[in-house]
């Protein structure tokens, strides 16, 4: 699930994308296909527990799946995935909106939801791999225009007591050894470069209170 | 106001940002501060007439004004401008949400709305300037971290019969002579590089059916 704390502070070692340094790192980054795929669909999670659905909607749009009609106001002549219309019949059999509103979703629930769409998905638990494997898997994914949703415990990265969170990975810089996370809790956090070691700790240490497993990530791509 | 037609087609001369060519142009662009300021707050207009409010919310966030609390679901502990909470007491005296829902807003109405916030704003009508002035004014704005909302008639740019539209300018490439528009009707149009000549035509030709004036643009910045 996606946890939250009220007063976020910037921790040393993190670099906001919207800073001279953050932009320079972006320019010198090889692995950034994901950024271009995702940024036209960058959204804010619509409530405190919807980091998962927001990340799913961005991913499905970025991968150019055939979207359903929008439901908001008079936009129903247009199609795009959003945090409401992803809950179709198949998804509702796996998890209901209200359950996510109450307690978020686990990495495995997200995996099952993504599997109902016309996608290939691979799930990885941080505790099953080492940091080197983590990097190599994500580099290969970005190079092949796959999308990575990362599920991490935020307290290893930010000055916060909150833990579980989902957001898509925007890019990876191999020289700086940093990930760009397109954080869907945009009311709190800007897109930010995060040191790989911190991010690996945040997916491999600690355990989801519901699933009793470590966090991890999912790689999604079109068949 | 923001008009709309149902079947958008890509017109020759336009280049999607999410294409190899579009990304290359971005990398070679000097004037792109606006992109980095705006992209953390990129949103989709919430109904067919809300290109104006969506552009205003992005601009106020990008300029780091002190935002009101979010109203959606349980996000009221967090602050960010959105398409609902920009309608405060001062704004409601100028224009009501329902009026915009019915018939959009004019460039001058947007100017008056922006003037209620703690900002400096300058309004320009396309019919009052030439293409060279248009470019020079926008380059200077981007260099000084000001935000430009452009109000243009879309039929001069896209294969569409629709006309009036608002969206923020993301960047300007002087070599290619192209503008990057962060179109808030994201269910239809990706962020796109548009030739300056086409964009200038679209702000200077034709007349807003309500105001009887040409389209144009507004430059906003913090005092």
pLDDT of residue A3: 56
Interface of A with B in 6-35 (CB under 8 A): 6, 17-18, 22-23, 27
Q: What is the mean pLDDT of residues A198-220?
A: 90
pLDDT of residue A24: 96
Does A209 touch chain B if contact means CB atoms closer than 8 Å?
Answer: no
Residue B210 confidence (pLDDT) above 90: no
The range of the structural domain enclosing residue B181 comes to 15-221
Residue A10 placed within a domain: no
Residue A3 placed within a domain: no
Secondary structure of residue A16 in the 3-state scheme = strand
How many domains, in total, are found in chain B? 1
pLDDT of residue A46: 95
**How far off is chain B from A208, nearest CA to CA, in Å?**
23
Dist CA B170 CA B36 (whole Å): 8
Does B80 touch chain A if contact means CB atoms closer than 8 Å?
Answer: yes
CATH at B201: 3.90.70.30
Residue B4 confidence (pLDDT) above 70: no
Closest-approach residue (CA) in chain A for B61: A187
pLDDT of residue A117: 98
Dist CA B34 CA B104 (whole Å): 25
Q: What percent of chain B is modeled with pLDDT above 90?
A: 82
Q: What is the mean pLDDT of residues A196-206?
A: 93
pLDDT of residue B211: 79
Does A73 touch chain B if contact means CB atoms closer than 8 Å?
Answer: yes
* Mean pLDDT score across all residues of chain B: 93
Contact B70 A188 (CB under 8 A): no
Residue B87 confidence (pLDDT) above 70: yes
* Mean pLDDT score across all residues of chain A: 93
- CB contacts < 8 A, A to B, total 76
Contact B39 A191 (CB under 8 A): yes
Residue A8 placed within a domain: no
Question: Tens digit of pLDDT for each residue in A171-180?
Answer: 999 999 999 9
Q: What is the mean pLDDT of residues A138-142?
A: 98
Residue B6 placed within a domain: no
B34 with B217: CB under 8 angstroms?
Answer: no
Does A71 touch chain B if contact means CB atoms closer than 8 Å?
Answer: no
Phi/psi-derived region of residue A194, left when phi > 0, alpha when psi is between -120 and 50, beta in every other case: beta
Lowest-pLDDT range of A73-82, B46-55, B99-108, B157-166: B157-166
Residue A9 confidence (pLDDT) above 90: no
Residue B203 placed within a domain: yes
Contact B40 A188 (CB under 8 A): no
Residue B7 placed within a domain: no
Question: Tens digit of pLDDT for each residue in B114-150?
Answer: 999 999 999 999 999 999 999 999 999 999 999 999 9
Backbone angles phi, psi at A57, to 5 degrees: -60, -45
More confident residue, A155 or A124: A124
Residue B77 placed within a domain: yes
pLDDT of residue B7: 41
pLDDT of residue B11: 63
pLDDT of residue A223: 79
Q: What is the mean pLDDT of residues A27-38?
A: 97
Complex confidence, ipTM: 0.92
Residue B5 confidence (pLDDT) above 50: no
Residue B123 placed within a domain: yes
Lowest-pLDDT range of A137-141, B45-49, B176-180, B207-211: B207-211
DSSP per-residue codes, B31-86: B-HHHHHHGGG----SSTTTHHHHHHHHHHHHTT--PPBP-STT-TTSB---TTTT
């Amino acid at each position: 699930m996606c946890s939250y704390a009220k007063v976020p502070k910037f921790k040393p070692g993190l670099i906001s994308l919207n800073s001279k340094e953050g932009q320079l790192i972006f320019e010198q980054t090889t692995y950034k296909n994901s950024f271009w795929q995702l940024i036209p669909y960058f959204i804010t999670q619509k409530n405190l527990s919807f980091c998962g659905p927001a990340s799913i909607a961005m991913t499905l749009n970025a991968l150019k799946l055939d979207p359903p009609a929008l439901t908001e106001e008079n936009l129903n002549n247009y199609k795009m995935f959003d945090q409401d219309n992803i809950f179709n019949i198949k998804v509702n059999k796996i998890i209901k909106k209200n359950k996510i509103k109450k307690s978020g979703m686990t990495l495995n629930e997200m995996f099952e939801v993504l599997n109902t769409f016309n996608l290939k998905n691979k799930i990885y638990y941080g505790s099953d791999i080492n940091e080197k494997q983590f990097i190599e898997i994500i580099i290969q994914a970005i190079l092949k225009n796959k999308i990575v949703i990362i599920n991490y415990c935020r307290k290893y990265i930010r000055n916060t007591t909150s833990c579980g969170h989902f957001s898509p990975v925007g890019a990876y810089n191999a020289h700086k050894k940093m990930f760009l996370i397109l954080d869907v809790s945009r009311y709190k956090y800007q897109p930010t470069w995060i040191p790989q070691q911190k991010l690996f700790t945040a997916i491999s240490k600690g355990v989801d209170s519901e699933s009793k497993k470590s966090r991890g990530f999912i790689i999604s791509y079109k068949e």
